[in-house]
Amino acid sequence: MATLMQKIKDIEDEMARTQKNKATAHHLGLLKAKLAKLRRDLLEPPSKGGGGAGEGFDVTKSGDARVGLVGFPSVGKSTLLNKLTGTFSEVASYEFTTLTCIPGVIVYRGAKIQLLDLPGIIEGAKDGKGRGRQVISTARTCNCILIVLDAIKPITHKRLIEKELEGFGIRLNKEPPNLTFRKKDKGGINFTSTVTNTHLDLETVKAICSEYRIHNADITLRFDATADDLIDVIEGSRIYMPCIYVVNKIDQITLEELEILDKLPHYCPVSAHLEWNLDGLLEKIWEYLNLTRIYTKPKGMNPDYEDPVILSSKTRTVEDFCERIHKDFIKQFNALVWGSSAKHKPQRVGKEHLLEDEDVVQIIKKV
C-alpha cells in the first residue's frame, strides 16, 4: 500500500512539474494512464489473504432510487436527512458525529427515494484515508449525489470533494465519452476521428494503449476527446451520475452572496436548520433523477393514481413496465395506453413503445 501511494505521489508530482503543450501531450497521456492503473490497483481489494480492503457499508437498496449525501464533516448532512425524511441521525457541533451510513426514505410524487447520510469524508479519501473508501464505494451505488457544502466555508471544498469522487471513477454531471473503442486480434492501432482533435494524436493514443498492453484496436472519436476520456473508456468502470451541490447554512451569508450562488449551475442553496428551500431541493432531486411515473388501470375501473409504477428514464418501454409488475405479463399481453405518448386515446401498443411521465397503462392478458 505504501509503495503504491508513493508511486501515485511521484506521478502526480511529475505531472504538476510538466508544462502542458503539444510537445508534452504524449508524455502526459502516458502518465495519466499509469496513474489510472495505480488508482485501480489501490482501490481493488486484495484477491487472497489480508482480510480484504474493508467491509464497506452494508445498506440494502430500497425504493425507486437512491440518493447519497456526500461532504466534509459538520456541513449539515445529518440535519438535512432528519428534516427531509424524519429519520434520526445524530447531530452535534463537533466533526465526525456520523460514523456509519444512515438510510432514510422520502416519498415524493409517489416515488420512494432512499436518502443515505454518509460519514464525512476527508482529503485523501480516494487513497483510502479515513473511511473514505467505504463512503465513496457506497456513493457509487447511488442514482444521484448531493454534495453538501457549508456556505461560510471556502468554495474550494467543492473542488476537493469532486477530486476525491473522480479519483474513485465517479463522473459528475457528465455524459459517457462519445468515442468507440474496440479490441481486435491484429492490424495494430487504427485511429480515426470525425472532428478536429486538439488533445489527442496517434502517438498519444498508441502510448496510452501500450500502457494497457493493447496493441490492436479500432478507436473512433466523434468529439474532441482528451486523454482522460480515452482512459475512462479503456478502464470501463466509470460511473456517470447527476450531482446537485447543496449549499447549506445560507442563513449565515449576505443576500448578495446568495444571489451569486443562485446563478451557478447545479447549485441549490438551503438552510437545513431553518428548513429554508427544502421544497426547492426536493424538486431539483426529482428533476435530476429523471424518473417516469406510470399509473395502472384495471379493466373496467378508474386508474390508480395513488401508487404509480416508477421507471427510470432510460428503461421506460412497455416491456420494462410489465417486468416491474410481473415477468409473465410480457409473454402474452395486449397493452392500452392513455397519455402524452399515445397518438390517440387509448392506443394499443407493442412492448417497444416508449412511455412518458404520468401515462396510464392497462394490461390485458391474451386468453
Residue 179 in grid coordinates = 468515442
Give the SS3 label for residue 89.
coil
The whole-number pLDDT of residue 262 equals 82
The whole-number pLDDT of residue 309 equals 92
Distance, in Å, from the CA atom of 220 to the CA atom of 229, rounded to the nearest integer, reads 12
CA distances from 131 to 56, 126, 199, 257, 327 (A): 9, 10, 36, 33, 40
Residue 189 in grid coordinates = 492501432
> Within 10 Å of residue 162's Cβ, how many Cβ atoms?
17
The whole-number pLDDT of residue 48 equals 47
Ordered by where they begin, the domains of the chain are 16-41+175-235 (no CATH), 65-93+100-173+239-288 (3.40.50.300), 291-365 (3.10.20.30)
pTM above threshold 0.85: no
Under-70 pLDDT residues of the chain: 1-2, 43-58, 88-100, 120-133, 332, 367
Task: Give me the sign of the Cα torsion angle 20, 26, 29, 31.
Answer: negative
Check if the beta carbon of residue 329 is closer than 8 Å to that of residue 363. Answer: yes
Ordered alpha helix ranges (H), 132-226: 132-139, 156-167, 202-211
Residue 53 in grid coordinates = 480492503
The whole-number pLDDT of residue 351 equals 85
